[in-house]
Chains A and B, each alone.
Chain A
């Protein structure tokens, strides 16, 4: 795994945690929560390096 890949994984992790935080604490409308969840799925797979 290259340094660039690790940096991108860190960025993906930050985005994942931010979206999860929004889903759990900020979003009130159901559609916004669903949008958050749909963003989380591919981010989680990429963090686990599953493709």
Chain B
């Protein structure tokens, strides 16, 4: 090799090594960043590890904490799942707000705010999304939380298959009208989608192991209701909605029409869980456990395909000029949320989730008194919206 060629090779190699180190350190820090969930002063009475319900999860990246909030009086039980899709921050943050604020006086609330910890540990390539989001609490502390990916981290289960064949493993349906169609093929990358892997396989991929643990936890503890918190693109039809398994449709309907829309002015749709769309919480946890299975959606401009520049501000404020334009075309027919205000802040999105969860729990107790769960200190919807600072509801 000529001397000139050797010099250019060395320079290019040095730049490549620098880029690999720069990116690698950033990715490594994100992968191992631990969020500070504050249990001091909260109603959390104890924590458990998810691996208690699937031994194959022990010491893995999916072995997350279960926060248990026990009331003094015995009653029903509810499991709240946040962070199923880690690029939907209101689902993750709503679960954290609930575990830090809710004070059950009757019954038990289980909260897993980071059910897909693997998804929180990385970002989707080429999406330009932030790695973290920050909130300033009432006492001035800045708290940092993950903004992650829709799917589990590929280093936890690599490579993806060409086609993902979903199966129900060894589970036996507990719902008499459970779908007979127990297999489904999807794009290979969906094998890392937490909400396509239920009811889960004990010794499958990491994502399937986590799903198995959740299903087994619900059956073991005889949990009465499970609520999975999500967000969706404003142009996606299932938006500002409760998706309910057949068993939970009545509870969802009353919650939406009376508690949310009539009493608080929160417009929310109720969608029945599609029978043949497999692997989702509202379908499989309804079919394979005795729990009322529900999923909540709220519009999130930071994950939509119409969005413009994507950064932490968009994730928190929901202000996006491209969505504003989209909302003005054909009188907003392109979108399934009212985006006329030009924003959709995370305080509003979390407030909707908190109000919806509270309404669903209240109605379960109304319809089934033996499953009643009473919760004090539920953050007020209007106060959360008016405050426009989610940090005020974090400890």
Q: Are A50 and B19 in contact (CB under 8 A)?
A: no
B274 within 8 A of A: no
State which of B23-31, B93-101, B243-251 sits at the interface with chain A.
Answer: B23-31
Known: A50-B155, A51-B122, A51-B153. A30 touches B8 (CB 8 A): yes
- Cβ of B15 under 8 Å from chain A: yes
Knowing A25-B1, A50-B155, A51-B153, say if A41 contacts B12 (CB, 8 Å): no
Partner pick for A45 among B27, B153, B158, CB 8 A cutoff? B27
A8, B24: Cβ atoms under 8 Å? no
- Tell me the complex Cα distance, A26–B8, Å: 13
B189-232, CB under 8 A of A: which get 1 and which 0? 00000000000000000000000000000000000000000000
Q: How far is the CA of A27 from the CA of B24 in the complex (A)?
A: 26
CB within 8 Å for A24 and B9 given contacts A45-B23, A45-B24: yes
> Is A51 touching B16 in the complex (CB atoms < 8 A)?
no
Q: Taking CB as reference atom, which chain A residue is nearest B14?
A: A37
Q: Considering the complex, which residues of chain A in the window 15-48 have a beta carbon less than 8 Å from any beta carbon of chain B?
A: 23-25, 27-28, 30, 33-34, 36-38, 40-41, 44-46, 48
Interface size class for chain B?
Answer: 20 to 34
Tell which of B12, B24, B28, B158 touches A33, judged by Cβ atoms closer than 8 Å: B12
Contact A44 B20 (CB under 8 A): yes
Secondary structure dominating the interface of A: helix
Known interface pairs A5-B158, A49-B155, A50-B155; A41-B9 also in contact (CB < 8 Å): no
Of B8, B9, B24, the contact of A50 (CB 8 Å cutoff): B24
Say yes or no: B159 contacts A51, CB within 8 Å. no
Size of the chain A interface, CB-CB below 8 angstroms: 23
- Given contacts A4-B159, A50-B155, A51-B153, A45 and B12 within 8 Å (CB-CB): no
Q: How far is the CB of B201 from chain A (nearest CB, A)?
A: 14
Nearest CB of A to B67, in Å: 27
Between A28, A37, A51, the greatest number of chain B beta carbons within 10 A of the residue's beta carbon is seen for: A51
Q: List 22 A-B contacts (CB under 8 A).
A: A4-B159, A5-B159, A23-B13, A24-B1, A27-B9, A28-B5, A30-B8, A30-B12, A33-B9, A38-B16, A40-B20, A41-B19, A41-B23, A49-B155, A50-B24, A50-B28, A50-B31, A50-B155, A51-B27, A51-B122, A51-B153, A51-B154
Query: Which residues of B are in contact with A by a Cβ distance under 8 Å?
Result: 1, 5, 8-9, 12-13, 15-16, 19-20, 23-24, 27-28, 31, 122, 153-155, 158-159
